[in-house]
Amino acid sequence: MASRAFSRSKVSILASGLFRVLDRTTIKEFPFPVKSKIPAFEVDSWKPLSGFRLYHDGRPRGPLWRGKKLIGKEALFVILGMKRFKDDEEKLDKFIKNHVTRLLKLDMIAVLTELERQEEVTLALKMFRVIRNQDWYKPDVFLYKDLIMALAKCKKMDDVMELWERMREENLFPDSQTYAEVIRGFLSSGSPADAMNIYEDMKKSPDPPEEQPFRILLKGLLPHPLLRNKVKQDFEELFPEKHMYDPPEEIFGVR
């Protein structure tokens, strides 16, 4: 019994001494890492537990469809179907009759906008004709503007002029941006005379003139000094405080 009591007192004395040493000693290095060095097991408070990043890392976010989640399933089906049958006029007309004409108003406009964005301008023009035949259609200058600019960008100038005449028949006037893009399209297609016709039409517009169409026309008419001088005079009368660059005469072939 005496030996047992002695051993217990000895253990208690050693334990108390050990705790005193640990209390006075500062732990400089913990043998186990607090933060894992393995990225897969690294946990930070600022990162969501679901694994999604709070910033854009430059990788593609998905299919190159603008607002795909905002476009209805019927509209997506129509877009894919029209692109599928675009080389077969008979099948395309049948598809339009069976599927496109059944779309709601917002879906039709969504299809038109997406086809314009993808530069499927021939299909967009067909879609626009379907919209014009709907009972709910009302003349809208913005529908014309977007389609005309898409056609001019693809140098479909005959289709541009067709829409231009229909727009004027509906008493709609294009804005300065539309004039500028159509003028640019004719100049890029090598038709300065048609660009001048659009310019004369622009001068009759009820909206106040802006600089952009003048500068595009002045730049595109460099090989045609007589036409350029006419536009230059109008520019100086309308914008007397604006400066315009005049190239050297050697550009015109005059020395």
pLDDT value, residue 54: 45
pTM: 0.66
pLDDT value, residue 80: 94
Low-confidence ranges of the chain (pLDDT < 50): 2, 5-6, 27, 29-32, 34, 36-67, 250, 252-255
pLDDT value, residue 241: 83
Read off the tokens for 228.
Answer: 């350029």
Read off the tokens for 142.
Answer: 């913005």
pLDDT in tens, 153-177: 999 999 999 999 999 899 888 888 8
pLDDT value, residue 41: 44
pLDDT in tens, 172-197: 888 888 999 999 999 988 898 999 99
Query: Whose CA is closest to 127, among 67, 165, 78, 87?
Result: 78
